[in-house]
Structure 1
Amino acid sequence: MGIIDRANLDRIFTGFKGAYAKGFDGAKSVYPTVAMTVPSTTSEEIYGWLGQLPRMREWIGDRVIKNLSAHGFTIKNRKFESTVSVPRERIEDDHYGIFAPAFEELGKAAAEHPDELIFDLLAKGFTSECYDGQYFFDTDHPVGSSGGDFPVTSVANTDGGAGEPWFLLDCSRAIRPLIYQERIPYKLTALDDDTDEKVFFRDEYIYGTRARSNAGFGLWQLAWGSRQTLDAAHYEVGRNAMQKFKGDEGRLLGVRPTHLVVGPDNEKKAFDLINAATLENGASNAWKGTVEVIVTPWVHAA
């Protein structure tokens, strides 16, 4: 290349952005399936409406207005970055093309980062609180209303255990079991001016991606977490319990599991349970095709 000027640097950055976009667009992220994406406009968002899944009722007398500010649950945005450097002499000598795979990986990592946030949080649900002050997966979620027709009782969305975790989720609704909160989307920027400090002192151009976002828990009623052995018996327990979940007014919520989320250690068990025509004992598999399986490396025992 010889002379490095603004036009050449812009052209090189365009190439790097193309490689970044290729990696970003080609990534197989699955977080939109299990999490609702919520745009954020401040450093944090308060989800006062969590805990309410409206159901229709017969209109007798006045309307019953549901309070959507019964719970105060806040998700604070976090800042994330990933940065790479390209030595100036590589560009001077026209060797910058060898860095294209690195920028493609940078794009892939950015696209998959929400998966990491969402599924890592899901795996921590046995020890992390949600909107009602209980662990997301707990045996003591309070359901009901004090002084109402449906007294408060404790409801479980886990059957415990000590093994590799697996999760049943209802992802059929506008509200999801998890929340991906996005303040600033992932963007690739360059520090490639000769007057920039890094360029002047270290003789290298800096490129990086930045985002502000976070993950949080949505409705525990749409999720079942287990660390029991993933088999037909425990799968049935989870499905049965979820379909019996009720709201604070005592009416069924109509929850139906749509996805089974597992880590690598439960992958074979999950596909055998959901895809096989028969079980290990030779009996017909009643659970064949009842949910879709999601396998992610970020689901593992904490």
Structure 2
Amino acid sequence: MQRTDVEDDDFGHYATVAYGHGEAASRLMDEIMFSALLAGWSTNCYDDQFFFDTDHPVYANTDGTGAVTATSNIQAGAGAPWYLFAPNAPALILQERVPATLESQTNANQSTNVFENDVFSFGGRWRGAAAYGFWQCCYGSKATLDATNFAALYDRMLAQTGDGGIKLGTVPNLLVCGPTNRVAAENLLTKRTLATGEDNINYKKVELLVTPWVA
């Protein structure tokens, strides 16, 4: 930004630029979180298994000892992924280390660019990362998104147990998918009646989030 624009009070259009910086910061956080979700098929979580895996260890005793039962939070398939989340605990965590801030160089005594070129500089800064929480609260599927596969994955989450056979009470409340599955997801969850005229038992059963970052 030219220093003379500020001196002449001719900078109204820069408000749009500043708004764009704020949007970019928010979008960055979305990109980080959804990138972690997609990477969960090949990235380890706290139990040293991939976040989405067929071999999560569940122990016979509540203290994490005894026989191990391999437990899956995957529904097999080869299509575009979709996900069911339960709200009991965070499955993905955004670790914000430094909140988004706007930084500026407007002092000629502190900036060579201001002193020599009469140019003010503005930029943003944010520090953070995504981390994996509880795989038990997110099941991933690459199977066809239809009533049969949705019901099967939903029921698996309902029946889930933790160490010592304790019921975890994981009741799904959110389905996340990308544009490829948008129509299927909307047909599954937002239509009151089926094409046959029957009531849709899945109508608003869970919330739906369609995002371009899940591809």
Q: Same fold (TM over 0.5)?
A: yes
Alignment match, 1:99: 14
Q: Residues 150 and 250 from structure 1, CA distance in 2 versus in 1: closer, same or farther, beyond 3 angstroms?
A: farther
* 1:141 is the counterpart of 2:49: no
| 8 Å CA contact retained: 1:150, 1:249 | no
Amino acid across the alignment from 2:77: G
* 1:181 is the counterpart of 2:80: no
* 1:153 is the counterpart of 2:69: yes
After superposition, give the CA deviation of every residue in 1:220-255 in whole Å (9 maximum; x if it has no partner): 000111111111111112101111211111121111
- Show the 5 A alignment for 1:187-206: 187-195=101-109, 196-206=111-121
Q: Residues 149 and 122 from structure 1, CA distance in 2 versus in 1: closer, same or farther, beyond 3 angstroms?
A: closer
Q: Tell me, in whole angstroms, the C-alpha distance in 1 between the residues paired with 2:5 and 2:190.
A: 51
Q: After TM superposition, give the deviation of residue 95 of structure 1 in Å.
A: 2.7
- Show the 5 A alignment for 1:279-294: 279-280=194-195, 283-294=198-209
What TM-score does the superposition give when structure 2 sets the normalisation length? Answer: 0.90
Q: Tell me, in whole angstroms, the C-alpha distance in 1 between the residues paired with 2:135 and 2:72.
A: 10
Alignment match, 1:217: 132
Q: Tell me, in whole angstroms, the C-alpha distance in 2 between the residues paired with 1:145 and 1:246.
A: 10
Q: Tell me, in whole angstroms, the C-alpha distance in 2 between the residues paired with 1:100 and 1:292.
A: 35
What runs of 5+ residues in structure 1 fail to find an aligned partner? 1-85
Q: Residues 279 and 127 from structure 1, CA distance in 2 versus in 1: closer, same or farther, beyond 3 angstroms?
A: farther
* 1:227 is the counterpart of 2:142: yes
| 8 Å CA contact retained: 1:138, 1:157 | yes
- Show the 5 A alignment for 1:256-271: 256-271=171-186
After superposition, give the CA deviation of every residue in 1:122-147 in whole Å (9 maximum; x if it has no partner): 12211111111111111111111589
Q: Secondary structure at the match of 2:12?
A: helix
Q: Residues 223 and 280 from structure 1, CA distance in 2 versus in 1: closer, same or farther, beyond 3 angstroms?
A: farther
Q: Tell me, in whole angstroms, the C-alpha distance in 2 between the residues paired with 1:280 and 1:185.
A: 49
Alignment match, 1:208: 123
Q: Tell me, in whole angstroms, the C-alpha distance in 2 between the residues paired with 1:211 and 1:114.
A: 9
List structure 1 segments (4+ residues) > 4 angstroms apart after TM superposition. Answer: 145-150, 280-283
Q: Residues 115 and 198 from structure 1, CA distance in 2 versus in 1: closer, same or farther, beyond 3 angstroms?
A: same
Amino acid across the alignment from 1:184: V
Amino acid across the alignment from 1:262: C
Q: Residues 192 and 247 from structure 1, CA distance in 2 versus in 1: closer, same or farther, beyond 3 angstroms?
A: same
What runs of 5+ residues in structure 2 fail to find an aligned partner? none
After superposition, give the CA deviation of every residue in 1:102-153 in whole Å (9 maximum; x if it has no partner): 1011112223332221122112211111111111111111111589886201
Q: After TM superposition, give the deviation of residue 263 of structure 1 in Å.
A: 1.4
After superposition, give the CA deviation of every residue in 1:40-80 in whole Å (9 maximum; x if it has no partner): xxxxxxxxxxxxxxxxxxxxxxxxxxxxxxxxxxxxxxxxx
Alignment match, 1:170: 86
* 1:113 is the counterpart of 2:28: yes
Q: Tell me, in whole angstroms, the C-alpha distance in 2 between the residues paired with 1:204 and 1:295.
A: 42
Q: Residues 158 and 140 from structure 1, CA distance in 2 versus in 1: closer, same or farther, beyond 3 angstroms?
A: same
| 8 Å CA contact retained: 1:130, 1:217 | yes
Q: After TM superposition, give the deviation of residue 281 of structure 1 in Å.
A: 5.6
What TM-score does the superposition give when structure 1 sets the normalisation length? Answer: 0.65
| 8 Å CA contact retained: 2:64, 2:163 | no
Aligned pairs, how many? 213
Q: After TM superposition, give the deviation of residue 193 of structure 1 in Å.
A: 0.7
Identical counterparts, % of pairs:
39
Q: After TM superposition, give the deviation of residue 161 of structure 1 in Å.
A: 1.9
After superposition, give the CA deviation of every residue in 1:163-190 in whole Å (9 maximum; x if it has no partner): 211100002x3x2111111221111121
